[in-house]
Structure 1
């Protein structure tokens, strides 16, 4: 960093002018390839940017440093909104990528700069552009664990299930970061819970492995496959045992994980010829029609039922006060009722199936009984 670059870096406009007037070389770079424009943009010094663009000759607006990043990239990466606006007004290239394939959108999202990200969305940068690792801006925001940026990009129309080169989704990153809020946002926006990465790991595997019980419960409530196997043929229960996650192992058992019982005559074994039989089972029903019904119940709980209507349904189906109290025990925020309702519906569905009743008919009658005929 020579004196001229330092004056731009720290925003000392008068010193910069003195040095230029004294014959300093304006096209200098530091060892990383940063020019005067890069320095001023990264630190957000708009008066210096204006002097460079308006009073100096032949300063290339889109010159790249050794990482392939322009001043526009640098302003986005470091959250300098005013500098970004100046460069946009000066006609910089919005869509240019650095050597890792990142656009300004990737850099702002990955660093969590919400105001800059909003401006980049407003100027209509491609939300689905991928870098060399296959990350979109939404993937980058999820990887950096920036829930507000994730929410903004989802509202702008980003694909919630975009996969990277390693087949990781945003939900994988949310779980790796231990962010329950972000995972819930992604699931509510249509994020698939049953997607495997390059190692065959589902989000549920990762939540178990890294010991995030709240995320395990969230993923279970959202219909994660309890018996999914990774590339080592390990189920979530295997991982819970391998890493001594006792509490999580109990959660998986309660949720109905397949214990692979070998005795065909065991009383807990379900008769395959009687899928709605009255025998108790720990094995999930993975038939397509049942999976579709699970999706209906999740949508019902998260979007259609009003805050207290899940309780009305529960009482209509003869749940007791103790049952309802147990279901709503876990408070996770103002939208807890969605998870409570979903949990109640899953319990109800298990009971209906065990009794051999038609769940569609029973759900229709329940909704009518609480005054939601149109929804039914």
Structure 2
């Protein structure tokens, strides 16, 4: 058994053939028990795969723990020749069975309910997806959690697979797949925004015409998930596509509340710079300042204060920011921001983005020319003349005169030499 497993892993088809010739029945049982066909497909040993299939090893045998088939392993690893070799054997096995759909065939799923198409979209294997689609695999089959191949392709930032899925499914089914919901009500746009897959999100919003503002079961749009997971590029992309960033999600929270709660400073700073209301309240009356105090996000709290946040505004429980910080166990940290604001992070927490913005503004003000100098510069630009302008004008005039004299039969006077 050890020698057979080593031969399969090393890709030695000759040794595998010799093992079958010595004791065919026992070797086949060992191959099925140890799932050596899975191993050969995962390593991409095409000749070994052929030997095993020709000696009667089932091509669609499920692994005991994961339920994955040899096709899953070959597709996940991106071995297109192995996938091409397996597909006819799987089809042949289906035709020989009395119940063709007993093992699922090409659409066989693992213990999570995911087929080989899911594996191709998750790993970004476009060539394998084309082979599966040409063989008749289902491209919109959800797994046990309602996750379709489009969700996996969007979450892993594979826009080319999203386009191929839509093209293969057709206009109607393709559009439905691009807006399909999983068990939590998440669309492919939610998956892309949460994982920071900007290329996939751009493809969904532009070429694929998929909706990027649908709420999930909790009421959160892709913009809320982008702010929750600190995906600033996705937030900017959604804003460029015209998605409103001030719509309430779960519990009335705006994307700004999620960014403040989870300490995503870049998203919070950008949203405030774009003109978001710093004192907007959710369904419980909490402002972004309340959430920064409840979660102990000092830098976000400092950024919120710099953009006009009101720390005395009370929520529905009657708590202001300081009281919320005291209840959550962060009173000292937040008090240093309110009472002793400073740009020195060693003394008091501060927003580095706000500090950098102020530093640039001060530098520009310090290096800006005085009004008198600006006026003098404008006057100098108005009266400035080209040093060679007179010479060029003289040269052009002489050329015109010489052409006129030549037409009259006279000789033009010589030009004055250029002064050095």
> Same fold by TM-score, threshold 0.5 exceeded?
yes
Choose which of 103, 112, 125 in structure 1 pairs with 2:148.
103
1:89 is matched with which residue? 134
Higher relative contact order structure (alpha carbons within 8 Å, sequence separation ≥ 6): 1
Choose which of 62, 65, 87 in structure 2 pairs with 1:29.
62
2:107 is matched with which residue? 62
1:50 is matched with which residue? 84
How far apart, CA to CA, are the structure 2 residues paired with 1:244 and 1:131?
Answer: 33
How far apart, CA to CA, are the structure 1 residues paired with 2:294 and 2:118?
Answer: 44
Query: 2:247, 2:254 within 8 Å by CA — same for their partners in 1?
Result: yes
Query: 1:227, 1:236 within 8 Å by CA — same for their partners in 2?
Result: yes
Residue 215 and residue 76 in structure 1: after superposition, are their counterparts in 2 closer, same or farther (change >3 A)? same
For residue 228 of structure 1, report the CA deviation from its aligned partner: 2.6
Query: 2:67, 2:109 within 8 Å by CA — same for their partners in 1?
Result: yes
TM-score w.r.t. the length of structure 2 is 0.58
For residue 237 of structure 1, report the CA deviation from its aligned partner: 2.4
For residue 77 of structure 1, report the CA deviation from its aligned partner: 1.2
Matched, 1:228 2:280: yes
Query: 1:193, 1:223 within 8 Å by CA — same for their partners in 2?
Result: no
For residue 196 of structure 1, report the CA deviation from its aligned partner: 2.7
Query: 2:180, 2:187 within 8 Å by CA — same for their partners in 1?
Result: yes
How far apart, CA to CA, are the structure 1 residues paired with 2:313 and 2:46?
Answer: 76
Query: 1:187, 1:222 within 8 Å by CA — same for their partners in 2?
Result: no
For residue 254 of structure 1, report the CA deviation from its aligned partner: 5.2
Query: 2:114, 2:142 within 8 Å by CA — same for their partners in 1?
Result: yes
Choose which of 162, 170, 173 in structure 1 pairs with 2:225.
173
Q: Note the 1:1-376 alignment, pairs <5 A.
A: 2-31=35-64, 32-56=66-90, 57-59=92-94, 60-123=105-168, 124=170, 125=174, 126-155=177-206, 156-243=208-295, 245=297, 248-249=300-301, 251-253=303-305, 255-257=307-309, 326=361
Decide which structure has greater helix share.
Answer: 2
How far apart, CA to CA, are the structure 1 residues paired with 2:313 and 2:44?
Answer: 71
Query: 1:184, 1:218 within 8 Å by CA — same for their partners in 2?
Result: no
Deviations 1:310-358 (A, max 9, x none): xxxxxxxxxxxxx9x94998xxxxxxxxxxxxxxxxxxxxxxxxxxxxx
TM-score w.r.t. the length of structure 1 is 0.64
Deviations 1:241-284 (A, max 9, x none): 4455555445545544456789xxxxxxxxxxxxxxxxxxxxxx
For residue 134 of structure 1, report the CA deviation from its aligned partner: 0.6
SS at match of 1:199: helix
How far apart, CA to CA, are the structure 1 residues paired with 2:313 and 2:115?
Answer: 61
Query: 2:75, 2:120 within 8 Å by CA — same for their partners in 1?
Result: yes
- C-alpha RMSD of matched pairs (Å): 2.8
Residue 199 and residue 182 in structure 1: after superposition, are their counterparts in 2 closer, same or farther (change >3 A)? same
Structure 1: gaps of 5 or more residues: 263-322, 330-376
Structure 2: gaps of 5 or more residues: 1-33, 95-104, 315-357, 365-420
